[in-house]
Each structure stands twice: as C-alpha cells, then as structure tokens.
Amino acid sequence: MGHIYPSADYTYENINLCLKAGLRHNTLGFITSVWTDSVEPFVRSSWLFMAYGCIAAWQGTVPDKTTFTGQYSSVVYPAFTQDMQAAFDHMATAGQYLEKCLGKNTQSLPRGTLVESWSNPFSAYYLANTNEHKVDFEQVRTHTEEAQARLISALQQASPTDTSFIQSMLVSARLINYSASRFLWAKAITDRWNDGMLAQKKDDYVFYDLTYPCHSLLVDAMDETGELKQAYAQAWLSENMQYRLNTMLGRFDVDFGLWRKLHLKLLDFKIQKKTEPLKSFELLFTPDF
C-alpha cells in the first residue's frame, strides 16, 4: 500500500534496518527522506514516519512502533489525541489488509498497489482475486471508514494550522477505501446480473439495482469516483504544484468512463429489448476501459 499511503510496518522496519546498518558501519548521519515519484501519496501522510526516522537517528534506537502513534499524537495533536491515534492505527491496519489483496504478482513494479489499484476490476483475474479476498477487501473498507470517522471528529476540534494535514489524511483514507471498493463493486455488479438474470427466474429489478439514475450500483460508483477526484485535486494543490496532477486525475477519469460505459450498455440492452440469448455479465457487456 506504500504507493497510496505509507505502509506502516514496512516503513518502520526499513528505518530500523537502515539505522542498524549505519551504526554497525560507524555512519556519520542518517537521512530520513520522502520519495514522491510514485505520484499518488501526499507528502503530509509521511510526517508520522518522518518523525519516527528522525527520532531514531537522534537517539540511536528506534521508538517502540506499538506505542509510537499514541505518543506522536499526544505531542502533535494534544487536543484530539485519541482521534488521531485511532485514525493512524486504522490506516495502518487497512494497509495490511489491502496488501493481502494486491501486489502479489507485480514483481519489479513498485510494490504493486499503485499498479493494481487502477486495473480493470471486471477482468477474470481480478474477479477471481476479489472472490478470494472479499473479506480482506471488506476489512479495508471497515478500517478506512473508521479512520474517516475519527478524522472528521478531529477536524471539528482542530485549529486552522492542523486542518490541511487532517484533510490530506481524510482524502488518503477515502482513496484506500476506493481502491478496495472498486473491486467489490465489480463483484457486486457482476453477481447481481448473473444471479438475477441467469441463476434465477428473470428479475426485472436487476436493471433498477444496476442503473437507476438516483441511486444504483453504477450510479453510486460514478458519484464516488467524481467526488473523490475533486477532493484529491484540492488536497494535492494544498501541498504541491500542478505538475503531474493530471497524471493522477486521469485515473479517476478512466474509472468514471468504465462505470458510465457500463451504465449506457445496460440501458441500451433494456430499452432496445434485445433478444440475443442471455449470457454472463462479463461476456454480454465485456466491461473494459
């Protein structure tokens, strides 16, 4: 998950190993840095881990990672320590679950999640992967939603100097949630058609559940994709220049196009009363970018 939000255990262990190697070889200094070439994460998301690395370099031993978020939050956010500690911990846990789902076969590509988070969730490979890891994806959503609740609570108590950081964290939580949700949505959409149109007697509510313009699976997906794109752009511009922003926003546009194209295909099938033999959702509508 390091290319959406820092992977907590991976980052802590990297700092620990680097510090040990430096001390073993009598290194004169230790630089804790942030690499932004992965495009997706916000720099503010790394501040917790930057503090961990700087403390380790100063005192020659790493802090206890099991208590660090609480100690850090009590110093940096004394007015709403519990909310921030809980948010940090839920984000870390969400990352652990997401890494069970994505990044297994990406080999030399950067830790997988950035690459796979935007893959076609309707492909045979990813539908099978979602079936296998459905509970893990759901845990990602649970923990990121808990994080969002705590961050919203923190925002209500925060001074203006802290709101930009908390907003960035909030968007990061939504982005991790979206990474899991898009795969769960694809499974839900596919299953709704296959169960309602093939496995059982024809169910007219399938089209309602998938395409109803006020509230349906595909319309909800479009709504969240568009809302998150706007929130991401605002958070990006609060800490970065325009450069590479569109490289990221284009991913949201492609995803929106996927949901919208499927929406139109289903509506065309219903309106035109096509008589071709019913097939599985994957074969009949060939969902792809």
Domain 81-285 architecture = Up-down Bundle (1.20)
Please give the share of the chain, as a percent, with pLDDT higher than 90. Answer: 77
pLDDT at res. 37: 67
What mean pLDDT comes out for the span 177-199? Answer: 95
What mean pLDDT comes out for the span 81-98? Answer: 96
User: Which of 5-19, 62-76, 195-209, 217-231 has the least mean pLDDT?
Assistant: 195-209
CB contact at 8 A, 245 and 275: no
Mean pLDDT of the residues in the chain: 92
What mean pLDDT comes out for the span 84-89? Answer: 98
Name the pLDDT band for 112 (thresholds 50, 70, 90).
low
Say which residues have a Cβ less than 8 Å from residue 158's Cβ, sequence separation at least 6.
Answer: 77, 79, 80, 166
Q: Tell me how many degrees the CA angle 35-39-43 measures, rounded to the nearest 5.
A: 55
What mean pLDDT comes out for the span 108-112? Answer: 55
Cα dihedral: 122, 187, 179, 265 (round 10):
50
CB contact at 8 A, 100 and 113: no
Query: Tokens 């073993």 belong to which residue?
Result: 24
pLDDT at res. 28: 87
CB contact at 8 A, 154 and 83: yes
Query: Tokens 């296998």 belong to which residue?
Result: 132
Separation CA 4–CA 45 (nearest Å): 9
Q: Hey, what are 230's tokens?
A: 């706007």
Please give the share of the chain, as a percent, with pLDDT higher than 70. Answer: 94
pLDDT at res. 116: 87
Q: What is the DSSP letter of 278?
A: P
CB contact at 8 A, 169 and 226: no
What mean pLDDT comes out for the span 127-142? Answer: 98
CB contact at 8 A, 116 and 103: yes
Query: Alpha helices, DSSP H only, in 238-286?
Result: 245-271, 281-285
Higher pLDDT residue, 194 or 4? 194
* Tens-place pLDDT, residues 7-61: 899 899 999 999 999 999 999 888 888 877 666 778 898 999 999 999 999 999 9
